Amino acid sequence: MVNPEIPSWRKTIQSQIVSVTVYSEKALVTRQGKVSLTGSERELAIPLLPVTLEPESVRVSGKGTVGVRLLAVSCDRIYTTEPVAERVAQLTRQIQQLETEKRHLQAQVDALTLQSQFIAGLREKTEEPFAQSLSRKNLSLSETLDFLNFLGSQYSEYAIAAAECNSQQQELDKQIQSLRNSLHSVQTPHAKESFTLVVGIEVTDAGEFELELSYLVNHASWKPLYDLRLNTTSKTLNLSYLAEVTQNTGEDWQDVNLTLSTAKPGLGTLPPKLNPWYIDTVTPPAARSLRKLASPSLPAIRAMSASSTEEMQLEAEDEENFLSAQNMVVEVVKEGSIVTFKLNGGGNIPSDGTPHKTTIFNDDYPCDFQYVAIPRLVSFAYLEANVKNSPNGATLLAGTANIFRDDLFVGTTELENIAPGQEFELNLGIDEGLKIERDLVERQVDKKLIGNQRRITYAYRLVVTNLLNQETLLKLTEQLPISRNEQIKVRLNRSNPQIPLSEMGILEWRLTIPAQEKQELHYQFTVEHPPELTVTGLDI
């Protein structure tokens, strides 16, 4: 349908977007528009809706000073040619302005070139007289140096200025070429595709009517992001809960009420049903063409809501009866596994397909720190923060988090879903405030067999030095070999401080180390096996 004429019994409503709910892969857009009805209208038309709209998702309702009965709704696909004269004139003016700037720059380059040539000519003409004056001692050495410095500085100044002008010219060339490409694109005729929503109505009388419609659009999504800033002095975590919203729906969201939801509306509320599984022979091309011609066109949309076919007698209310909304940054609603964030503002997302960040909320959380060390693998200690989500706080959805420690960027991590009141850990990287040494102090093979078994004894010493000015908690983990052969026996003989050996040969100490002090740890174990058996994996 191309640029259809509007019949007298159809009234066009110019609507605007008032709210948007963004899901993981779609968005629900709500529009509102007001119209004055004479009582003779049979249809209301809402033009210029995006082609990303899902026609079967459209819902309409309304209120006003006149009784209106809402009937069937349909979507018409419209192709229009945009007026280009104004845009062409604008682009042409911009190109002319940039070309004028380029000419001015070229004039400066020409002037600088003349000055440079004059300096070069002055140098050539004064070489021989200067040499003679120096030989006759008519000029002092300082006067000669002053003149040479003058020539060099002037020549350098002109060269730098000319290079700067050339650089500006190159940048202007890029801008001019970009504008010329845009001008060529605008001057090339192309049809713009959109939907026009048509709502059948029955009107009882003349009056004002406000129509509200909502629909789902594709090419819209959001995901959570986090900035986690830890202050090791105050032991607090500042959490910025962000949303990265991306949309390329074909319509800009300007000054709308933005809501972010984890629901998945496209999946429906009922489980899918199996359709008949047909098999057939290959259909000739001619028969397929006839079938396509017989296919029905896009069906009209059915009833929009349970009350859409009832007569709506809603009287207009005075503005003084409305309550002012509270100034809330975000309202968090959780129903089952669905979390919804209702933002106050933040709804300025252009349809450009690029990510746009908006803040959901920002809050401080108390946290505890501890160090983790695995000396068998690395000789460093890693700092960890234990954080507890507020029992009355919001659910932290799974997403990427940027971690900062005392204003230094540490790295990124992936947060899993964190419920209110749930604890979680953050790894903050290596901290050189703890120095860890691990030495093999004993490796002894018994010369005599004990019970026809060969015994090898290993002993390690670990020294932990706290270089910090505060007491630290350290979880230090060591590991004993695990036998996968019943003839090979591994036994822990002793450990200091004494701890039990847990599963998979793990030794885990939890230490409190005072500031600027050292602590030593020792452990010894034996490996026994028949002398004829060759043991692998003991290269420690």
The predicted pLDDT at position 158 comes to: 78
- In DSSP terms, which residues pair with 341 in a beta bridge? 260, 332
Q: How many CB atoms lie within 10 A of CB 509?
A: 20
List pLDDT tens digits, range 155-184.
778 788 888 888 888 889 989 998 888 888
Beta strand extents in 82-217 (DSSP E only):
191-203, 207-217
Residue 8 has pLDDT above 90, yes or no: no
DSSP string, 485-503: STT-EEEEEEEES-----G
List pLDDT tens digits, range 182-197.
888 777 766 678 899 9
Band (pLDDT 50/70/90 cuts) for residue 132 is: low
Cα–Cα distance measured from residue 455 to residue 494, given in angstroms and rounded to the nearest whole number:
16
The predicted pLDDT at position 304 comes to: 37
- In DSSP terms, which residues pair with 362 in a beta bridge? 240
The predicted pLDDT at position 58 comes to: 93
Residue 451 has pLDDT above 80, yes or no: no
The predicted pLDDT at position 273 comes to: 57
Band (pLDDT 50/70/90 cuts) for residue 85 is: confident
Window from 133-147, 241-255, 341-355, 513-527 with minimum mean pLDDT = 133-147
Mean pLDDT, to the nearest integer, of 80-105? 83
The predicted pLDDT at position 184 comes to: 81
| 282-318 burial: b if 16+ Cβ within 10 Å, else e | eeeeeeeeeeeeeeeeeeebeebeeebeeebeeeeee
The predicted pLDDT at position 116 comes to: 78
Residue 206 has pLDDT above 50, yes or no: yes
Domains, the chain, with CATH or none: 85-187 (1.10.287), 434-529 (2.60.40)
List pLDDT tens digits, range 458-490.
999 999 999 999 899 999 999 999 988 888 999
Which one is predicted more confidently, 199 or 146? Answer: 199
Helices 85-135, 141-187: axis angle to 10 degrees equals 170
Cα–Cα distance measured from residue 209 to residue 68, given in angstroms and rounded to the nearest whole number:
8
| Cis, bond preceding 497 (omega within 30 deg of 0) | yes
Residue 328 has pLDDT above 60, yes or no: no
Band (pLDDT 50/70/90 cuts) for residue 78 is: confident
DSSP string, 125-164: HHHHHHHHHHHTT-S-HHHHHHHHHHHHHHHHHHHHHHHH
Q: How many CB atoms lie within 10 A of CB 436?
A: 19
The predicted pLDDT at position 326 comes to: 31
Cα–Cα distance measured from residue 34 to residue 12, given in angstroms and rounded to the nearest whole number:
10
Mean pLDDT, to the nearest integer, of 416-421? 90
Residue 39 has pLDDT above 80, yes or no: yes
Q: Identify the CA nearest to 332 among candidates 278, 396, 283.
A: 396
Cα–Cα distance measured from residue 253 to residue 351, given in angstroms and rounded to the nearest whole number:
8
Residue 262 has pLDDT above 90, yes or no: no
Q: Identify the CA nearest to 394 among candidates 241, 263, 261.
A: 241
The predicted pLDDT at position 318 comes to: 35
The predicted pLDDT at position 288 comes to: 43
Surface-to-core class of residue 29, CB atoms within 10 Å of its CB (0-12 exposed, 13-18 middle, 19+ buried) = buried
Share of the chain above pLDDT 90, in %: 43
- In DSSP terms, which residues pair with 29 in a beta bridge? 20, 215
The predicted pLDDT at position 223 comes to: 93
